[in-house]
């Protein structure tokens, strides 16, 4: 028996040898997570006492790890933080909505037929009277795919109705990644495009399959408080009216205008589609908006490059979680966010320690702990809109969010699937460590657009969000899937996402080691990772190619 055990242990050692974490200590990660996810940190809500403690903790441990301050320039010196001014918008009082179609006018109820978001243009009152309604298909303008749903239509003073997901979601094949979602399928894109097209309002037509969630989710998140970064010209990013409309109501409006919704949707799946005005249909609404300003912080550590300090590799991870909220069945109100995302911050601090220890990299390496991810990627959006280091010479962003405390895994993954040579490099580093890449199993859910690397990708910077594997060294896929299932059901975004002293953090240390080695490779080379042909981010990156000579 003893002999058998020894043989087993030896075999395991041989198998695991290439994956042993050399620089990153699991005990250090545990130390950080235990504190950051403790009740004293109150769930790390932005602009709360929990933020003050969290920011102080990260600064203290960046210092301890040997990092230098890399934040805002104050009197010619870098501070540890970047101020992130955020705007908070809330609908105030009743929301009046009326729709005329087929000669009849009816009142609609906020949250029932439509879910109207609090305006994010800075307007304290939204008043729209008898605005014509135009169907604009999938609302996509994609020059690199030779696709334009707008065809020059004038949307001034009009409400546009737009389909969710991208034009080839239903057919499963075409120019938009088939079933997988491109950025053109995300509702955030639809709203940004609406603002560019000059519409007074944009309503996304809710259909459960292409949205990947039901009306309840749409209603809850869109009629609630909304946060945004503070923008110089908010109306360039937001139309006055943004919201969602139920599919059934849309079908009725089409019918009253003598149109067939399904037939027009089919047309919208082709390049030839042209916008269609719903004859005799108009939309009116009137409501007040409460606008407030808060200031939160990104925490920024730096290891300056020895040879090319102006070229930057960024590691990012969000420090915020949901704060204090509704109690669970046990009466616990603190949303500790241990896995999401104290563990990402902990791992990033330890990657920082390894870089600071040396040897000094050729390029600079930045450790960006961002705020307000849970409010819609706002800390990273603010950074990318106001970069401390120019994006044109930012080599890559490597993001980590909710790494798994399940012990070593044979595989690893990334959120969503966006083809870049950065992803290839990650896969190669993993392979050299005896691990394999498992692609995102549900690319149609659009996970690529839901993590802090995305504001970088959107602006052309090669970016990836690393994910822990599920094929565990101990117990294989069955054990990894079982953990994920229980975590999603009982802990994800719930007060029970707490630190557990029985966790095996050896796997998280290996994940950190993998990201460390990818970063080291990039930091000591002269190459620039790229988006591959056909990527929706490639044109934007290529536009600044001259700055990367
Ligand atoms: Zn997270």
Say how far apart CA 392 and CA 310 lie, in whole Å.
Answer: 10
DSSP collapsed to 3 states, 49-115: HHHHHHHHHHHHHHHHHCCEECCCEECCEECCEEEEEEEEEEEEEEEEEEEEECCEEEEECECCCEE
Residue 402 C-alpha to ligand 1 middle, in angstroms?
Answer: 6
Token pair 């001014």 in the structure block, residue? 85
Residue 215 C-alpha to ligand 1 middle, in angstroms?
Answer: 23
Residue 340 C-alpha to ligand 1 middle, in angstroms?
Answer: 5
Residue 376 C-alpha to ligand 1 middle, in angstroms?
Answer: 11
Residue 377 C-alpha to ligand 1 middle, in angstroms?
Answer: 10
Residue 422's Cβ-count burial label (10 Å; 0-12, 13-18, 19+) is: buried
Q: Can you read off the two tokens belonging to residue 389?
A: 């280091």
Backbone angles phi, psi at 25, to 5 degrees: -95, 125
Residue 546 C-alpha to ligand 1 middle, in angstroms?
Answer: 35
pTM of the predicted protein model: 0.81
Residue 374 C-alpha to ligand 1 middle, in angstroms?
Answer: 7
Residue 456 C-alpha to ligand 1 middle, in angstroms?
Answer: 17
Residue 373 C-alpha to ligand 1 middle, in angstroms?
Answer: 7
Pick the closest to residue 26 from 491, 347, 366 (CA basis). Answer: 347
Residue 323 C-alpha to ligand 1 middle, in angstroms?
Answer: 13
What lies within 8 Å, CB to CB, of 221 at 6+ separation is none
Query: Helix H segments across 433-505?
Result: 454-458, 476-490
With DSSP H G I counted as helix, E B as strand and the rest as coil, what are the percentages for the chain, rounded to 5?
Answer: 35, 25, 35
CA distances to 175, 218, 417, 533 from 179, rounded to whole Å, are 11, 21, 12, 19
CB 44 within 8 A of CB 323: yes
Say how far apart CA 250 and CA 1 lie, in whole Å.
Answer: 70
CB 357 within 8 A of CB 70: no
Number of H helices, E strands in the chain: 15, 22
Say how far apart CA 466 and CA 464 lie, in whole Å.
Answer: 6
Pick the closest to residue 513 from 393, 391, 409 (CA basis). Answer: 409
Token pair 């109100």 in the structure block, residue? 333
* pLDDT per residue of the chain (549 residues) written in tens, 0 to 9: 333 333 334 344 434 444 444 799 999 999 999 999 999 999 999 989 999 999 999 999 999 999 999 999 999 999 999 999 999 898 888 999 999 999 999 999 999 999 999 999 999 999 999 999 999 999 999 988 999 999 999 999 999 999 998 999 888 888 888 888 888 998 889 999 989 999 999 999 999 888 777 887 788 778 878 889 888 899 999 999 999 999 999 999 999 999 999 999 999 999 999 999 999 999 999 999 999 999 999 999 999 999 999 999 999 999 999 898 778 889 999 999 999 999 999 999 999 999 999 999 999 999 999 999 998 899 999 999 999 999 999 999 999 999 999 999 999 999 987 889 999 999 999 999 999 999 987 777 778 888 999 999 999 999 999 999 999 999 999 999 999 888 888 888 889 999 999 999 999 999 999 999 999 999 999 999 999 998 889 999 999 999 998
Say how far apart CA 446 and CA 194 lie, in whole Å.
Answer: 20
CB 208 within 8 A of CB 214: yes
Residue 512 C-alpha to ligand 1 middle, in angstroms?
Answer: 16
Say how far apart CA 58 and CA 525 lie, in whole Å.
Answer: 29
Residue 192 C-alpha to ligand 1 middle, in angstroms?
Answer: 23
Residue 466 C-alpha to ligand 1 middle, in angstroms?
Answer: 12
Residue 176 C-alpha to ligand 1 middle, in angstroms?
Answer: 27
Residue 465 C-alpha to ligand 1 middle, in angstroms?
Answer: 11
Residue 60 C-alpha to ligand 1 middle, in angstroms?
Answer: 22
Handedness of CA 78, 80, 83, 84 (dihedral sign): positive
Which conformational region is residue 12 in: left (phi greater than 0), alpha (psi within -120 to 50 degrees), or beta? Answer: alpha
């Amino acid at each position: 028996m003893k002999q058998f055990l020894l043989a087993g242990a030896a075999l395991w050692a041989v198998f695991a040898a290439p994956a042993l974490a050399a620089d990153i200590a699991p005990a250090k990660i545990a130390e950080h997570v235990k504190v950051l996810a403790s009740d004293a940190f109150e769930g790390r809500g932005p602009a709360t006492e929990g933020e003050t403690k969290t920011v102080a903790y990260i600064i203290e441990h960046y210092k301890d790890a040997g990092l230098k301050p890399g934040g805002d320039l104050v009197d010619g010196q870098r501070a540890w933080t970047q101020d992130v001014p955020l705007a908070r918008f809330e609908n105030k009082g009743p929301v009046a909505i009326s729709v005329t179609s087929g000669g009849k006018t009816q009142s609609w109820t906020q949250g029932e037929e439509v879910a109207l978001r609090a305006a994010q243009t800075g307007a304290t009152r939204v008043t729209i009277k008898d605005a014509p309604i135009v169907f604009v298909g999938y609302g996509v303008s994609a020059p690199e795919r030779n696709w334009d749903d707008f065809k020059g239509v004038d949307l001034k003073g009009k409400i546009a109705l737009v389909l969710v997901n991208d034009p080839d979601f239903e057919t499963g094949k075409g120019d938009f990644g088939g079933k997988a979602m491109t950025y053109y399928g995300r509702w955030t894109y639809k709203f940004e495009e609406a603002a560019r097209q000059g519409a007074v309002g944009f309503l996304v037509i809710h259909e459960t399959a292409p949205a990947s969630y039901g009306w309840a989710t749409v209603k809850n998140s869109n009629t609630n408080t909304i946060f945004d970064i503070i923008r110089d010209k908010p109306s360039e990013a937001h139309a006055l009216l943004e919201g969602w409309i139920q599919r059934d109501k849309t079908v009725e409006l089409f019918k009253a205008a003598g149109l067939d919704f399904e037939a027009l949707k089919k047309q919208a799946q082709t390049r030839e589609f042209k916008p269609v005005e719903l004859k005799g249909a108009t939309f009116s609404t009137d409501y007040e908006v409460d606008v407030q300003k808060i200031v939160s912080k990104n925490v920024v550590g730096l290891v300056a490059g020895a040879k090319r300090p102006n070229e930057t590799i960024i590691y990012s991870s969000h420090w915020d979680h949901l704060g204090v909220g509704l109690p669970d069945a046990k009466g616990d109100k603190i949303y500790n966010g241990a896995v999401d995302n104290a563990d990402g911050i902990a791992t990033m601090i330890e990657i920082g320690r390894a870089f600071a220890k040396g040897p000094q990299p050729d390029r600079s390496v930045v450790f960006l702990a961002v705020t307000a991810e849970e409010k819609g990627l706002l800390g990273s959006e603010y950074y990318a809109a106001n970069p401390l280091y120019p994006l044109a010479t930012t080599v890559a962003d490597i993001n980590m969010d909710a790494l798994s405390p399940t012990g070593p895994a044979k595989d690893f993954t990334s959120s969503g699937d966006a083809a870049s040579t950065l992803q290839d490099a990650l896969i190669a580093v993993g392979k050299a460590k005896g691990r394999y890449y498992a692609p995102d199993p549900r690319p149609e859910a659009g996970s690529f657009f839901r993590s802090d690397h995305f504001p970088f990708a959107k602006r052309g910077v090669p970016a990836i969000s690393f994910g822990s594997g599920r094929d565990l060294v101990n117990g294989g896929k069955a054990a990894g899937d079982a953990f994920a299932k229980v975590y999603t059901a009982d802990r994800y975004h719930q007060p029970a996402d707490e630190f557990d002293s029985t966790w095996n953090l050896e796997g998280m240390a290996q994940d950190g080691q993998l990201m460390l080695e990818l970063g080291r490779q990039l930091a000591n080379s002269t190459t620039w990772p790229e988006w591959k042909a056909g990527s929706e981010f490639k044109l934007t990156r290529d536009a600044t190619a001259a700055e990367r000579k």
